[in-house]
Structure 1
Amino acid sequence: MTASRKNEFPDSDRLNRWRYGLYAPVYDWIAGIFSGQRKVAISALRLQAGQRVLLVGCGTGLDLDFIPTGVAVTGLDLTPGMVRRAEERARRRGLGVTFVVGDARSLPFAPGSFDVVLLHLILAVAPEPERIVAEVDRVLVPGGTVSIFDKFLPAGQTPGLARRLANRVAALAFSELNRTVEPLIATPGWTVRSDEPAGFRGSYRRIIAIKPVSGSK
């Protein structure tokens, strides 16, 4: 059984909701090519029963296929169409998941609500990723874990002409090829526990980061 509630806020990005609503029916087919990387990323977390896990930008719930039973899962996505499909997936698997329609830049949760947060294929597509990271840091417990899986420009690398042109094409699919992750992780003071290449010649990466305990920044 799943529970769902909707969060409204003044700065909702209606254009992105509309665009990803169009995307929802084919999202599994497109994003399904990353299932193997999702599985590896989630397996590395060694999730335990009772842990509170937040899926930010949960989409159609593809991560749910790899999360063990007994974990308290909350999924958030900007697009109602994505959330409906995620709810269907959770029901098919017999998972009790709470779903929220909301903006990752303004998470409707109290500080310290989660032990683990998954940021899978969101930081390179969502606007204002620095706000997303700040919100994740707020709702994560001290010492909590963040799993990041996405495509990033290597640190210190300047995008060449080919990549800049490719980025214009990627923008049509609501994505960004030239974002770097290092500043996003450094700002809240997260410690990188692992950083592994995750396909496409290292353009995609799997990162596990840890929020410092209180007073350690």
Structure 2
Amino acid sequence: MTDPAWLRAQWDKYAPHYDRSIGFLERLQFAGGREWVCAQASGDVLEVAIGTGLNLGHYPADVRVTGLDLSPAMLELAKRRADDLGRPVTLRQGGAEALPFPDAGFDTVVCTLGLCGFPDDRAALAEMHRVLRPGGALLLLDHVGSHHRPLHWAQGLLERVTLRQIGDHQTRRPLPLVIDVGFEITKAERLKLGTAERLVARKPA
């Protein structure tokens, strides 16, 4: 299990460079993904791993956003972005595997490009299930292990590097875990030779 203090320190160091370094990858692998996710959010929204707040400009005007991140440096950048956008947002520091929120407090949980970096992705998904109201929506976007063997092998090689750098997994597949913790999948799209996935799931009413 990755040490949370180490992981927080790594993301704090990475925060000032995050937007610039991920820009090309976003356009290449995830174009339109943030818009796709955020357009489906409603009511009280929790964004887990809000990072620098790249989603904030894509939410409907009438949703109420709470953002959580492990990295204080990321949260500071998210606050600046929210201020620039004139977007009210509540920001909390903490880990995804132990969300500091009561049961059934949100209508929507959003996580974009975050599950790949959680030390325990199953625990994080179980926490997302806990804080959602019955009938609430889980909206996910992430890079996943490809079903094409040569590409999956290459992802495995890259993973050896990214795990040491920022604890980032390249070969995970959230969908089975989403089902395992109690969600019902309502929409799933696998793109870019199976390396990117968009999911909508519901907590049973």
Q: TM-score, normalised by structure 2?
A: 0.88
Extract unaligned runs of 5+ from structure 1: 1-10
CA positional deviation for 1:197: 2.7
Runs of 4+ in structure 1 deviating by more than 3 angstroms, as ranges, are 154-163
Aligned alpha-carbon RMSD (Å):
2.2
CA drift at 1:180: 1.9
Write the distance in 2 (CA, Å) between the matches of 1:154 and 1:211. Answer: 27
Matches for 1:196-215 after TM superposition, within 5 Å: 196-198=189-191, 200-213=192-205
The match for 2:33 is: 37
Equivalent position SS for 1:27:
helix
1:91-170 equivalences under 5 Å are 91-153=83-145, 161-170=153-162
The 1:160–1:196 alpha-carbon spacing in structure 2 relative to 1, beyond 3 Å, is closer
Gaps in structure 2 of 5+ consecutive residues = none
Report the residue type matching 1:31 in the other structure: I
Q: 1:157 to 1:59 in 2, by over 3 A?
A: same
| Counterpart position of 1:17 | 8
Contact 2:146 2:193 in 1 (8 A): no
Identity rate, percent: 34
Instruction: Tell me if structure 2 keeps the 8 A contact 1:21–1:79.
Output: yes
User: Is the contact made by 1:167 and 1:177 (CA closer than 8 Å) also made in structure 2?
Assistant: yes
Residue 76 of structure 1 aligns with which residue?
A: 68
Residue deviations 1:128-183 (CA, integer Å, cap 9, x gap): 01110111111000111001100122579798643322221332343112212233
Report the counterpart of residue 6 of structure 1 in structure 2.
none
Contact 1:197 1:204 in 2 (8 A): yes
C-alpha contact (below 8 Å) 1:155/1:182 kept by paired residues: no
Which of the residues 169, 173, 183 maps onto 1:180?
173
Deviation at 1:58, TM superposition (A): 0.3
Structure ranking higher in helix proportion:
2
Structure 1, 125-134 or 167-176: larger mean CA deviation: 167-176
Q: How far apart, in 2, do the equivalents of 1:170 and 1:12 lie?
A: 15
